[in-house]
Structure 1
Amino acid sequence: MDLATVIGIVLSFGLVVSAILSGSSLIIFISVPSFLIVIGGTLGAAMVNYPMGYVIGVIGVIKNTFFSNLESPVNIIEQFKDYANRARREGILSLEPLIKEIDDEYMRKGLQLTVDGLEPQTIQEILETEVSYLSERHATGADVVAVLGTLAPAMGMIGTVVGLVQMLQTMSDPSSIGPAMAVALLTTLYGAILSNLVFNPMAGKLKARSKEETLLREMIMEGILSISKGENPRIIEEKLNSFLPPKDRVSSD
């Protein structure tokens, strides 16, 4: 669970709700027509902009802002130190029994290619292709969420225009002015909240998470290539440490 995402959402929505409750009731800020205009319009416009599968898949994409299953870089370095030492002592084939125990599919695939005896250049090409398409998929997911953040306030403005038109057409009936004005203002509020407190921050988190995972994949690829070349475990450790900030680097025993 990503605590930063949870704390950020609770904090931002909590402060907004607290500000509302300090001056009035929360009920007056609830409008079903406004909600339908913003949510329905945003999703509908997103479906026009992207294929259906992309929009449906955004649920899983948003889930990635709350949950992170990335392996610790320090643990990865320790793993490769162990693999490199084992490969030097017992040969590269000694890694084959360990492959099934690896949870990370990318690392498992790379080590399997190494054990199968492929040339380092071929392994690198395969793994680089994996990283390239991973980055592309992540970028698409973040773009869909960012588009939702762009569309939400636009739908809010549409709702505002609808409410104003309704209000102007019923100026002779004072009792109808209030509800129409509420729709006009609340749609703008809903759109602004969804855009600035939900979709745009989540798109930023997804882009940052994608960079982290790409860097992790590049670290794993460097370790696999070093093992396939039979490099010294100490050299492998130094190479992988170069991916980390100085304060996080693994020190040799």
Structure 2
Amino acid sequence: MDILTLVGLLAGILIVLLAMLADATVATFLNLPGLAIVVGGTFAVTLIKFRMASVVSAFRLAFKATFTDHLPRPAELIREVAVLARVVRKEGLLGLENHETGDEFLQKAINLCVDGHPPELVEEALWQESDQTAERYEVAERVFRGIGESAPAIGMLGTLVGLVQMLKTLDDPSSIGPAMAIALLTTLYGSFIAQLIALPLADKLQLKAEDDARNQTLIITSIKSIMRGENPRVMTEILSSYVTPEHRNKIEDQQEA
């Protein structure tokens, strides 16, 4: 579980809600027609921009990628592939047959190696898998950025609708204040959805995509080295460029030990 994402999302929503309810009640900020305009209008615009399958996939990927910290750290991957390299140097590629890992991409790479495919085919298959993963992240990010762009605009549209309705009742001064409050609520709803939900999730998806792409590049580089039979220590030194100097020193100390 990526606890920081969940904490940040809940904390942001809670802070705004507490500020809203400090001198008011829930009923003050609740307007069902305005909420329907913003949510329904944003959903409709999203369906116009993207296919339904892309929208469903985006929400599924967002939940999986942003609320679960399933990606291993580069330092962990380097230590694991170094073990794989030592096994291959002793037993050959078939020595990896019983090796199981929690990383799906690395597991696929191991299976391709064990099956006896040539290095060129293994590399091509892994790069294709990496490109498809990056494309899925990109589409999901675009969906949430689209929601973040559309929600405030739809909210403003709802405000204009409310203002038109308010202008029709100018002969009753007592109704102007409540009508104006209701008109502005749609802008509030749109900004709430965009700034506290959609855009932060889009940024988190972009960050996860970068982390996933880095890990996959590291795995592809290491698999190429393993299939060429390179020295595990040399391979580790090459892969150490993927981690910070602090983690690099820890990896070197562990290898010496």
Answer yes or no: same fold by TM over 0.5: yes
Q: C-alpha displacement at 1:71, in angstroms?
A: 1.8
Deviations 1:38-80, CA, capped at 9 Å, x for gaps = 1000001100111111222332133122122112322222221
CA contact (8 A) 1:46 1:148 kept: yes
CA contact (8 A) 2:6 2:67 kept: yes
The SS at the match of 2:156 is helix
Taking every aligned residue pair, what percent have the same amino acid on both sides?
Answer: 38
Mark the runs of 5 or more structure 1 residues left unpaired by the alignment. none
Rounded to whole Å, the distance in 2 between the matches of 1:61 and 1:112 is 25
Rounded to whole Å, the distance in 2 between the matches of 1:3 and 1:68 is 8
Name which of structure 1's ranges 145-154 and 28-37 shifts more when overlaid on structure 2.
28-37
Instruction: Name the structure 2 match of 1:116.
Output: 115
Give the alignment of 1:100-249 within 5 angstroms.
Answer: 101-174=100-173, 176-249=175-248
Name which of structure 1's ranges 45-54 and 139-148 shifts more when overlaid on structure 2.
45-54
Rounded to whole Å, the distance in 1 between the matches of 2:19 and 2:102 is 46
CA contact (8 A) 2:55 2:140 kept: no
Give the aligned CA root-mean-square deviation in angstroms.
1.6
Q: C-alpha displacement at 1:154, in angstroms?
A: 0.5
Report the number of matched residues: 251
Mark the runs of 5 or more structure 2 residues left unpaired by the alignment. none
CA contact (8 A) 1:86 1:95 kept: yes
The reply to whether residue 27 of structure 1 matches residue 27 of structure 2 is yes
Rounded to whole Å, the distance in 2 between the matches of 1:61 and 1:200 is 15
Deviations 1:63-114, CA, capped at 9 Å, x for gaps = 122122112322222221211111111222111122xx23322212212222
Rounded to whole Å, the distance in 2 between the matches of 1:197 and 1:83 is 43
Name which of structure 1's ranges 137-146 and 75-84 shifts more when overlaid on structure 2.
75-84
Name which of structure 1's ranges 10-19 and 169-178 shifts more when overlaid on structure 2.
169-178
Instruction: Name the structure 2 match of 1:90.
Output: 91
Rounded to whole Å, the distance in 1 between the matches of 2:137 and 2:20 is 36
Q: C-alpha displacement at 1:209, in angstroms?
A: 0.6
Structure 1 residues 57 and 179: CA distance shift in structure 2, 3 A: farther
Instruction: Name the structure 1 match of 2:49.
Output: 49
Rounded to whole Å, the distance in 1 between the matches of 2:45 and 2:232 is 54
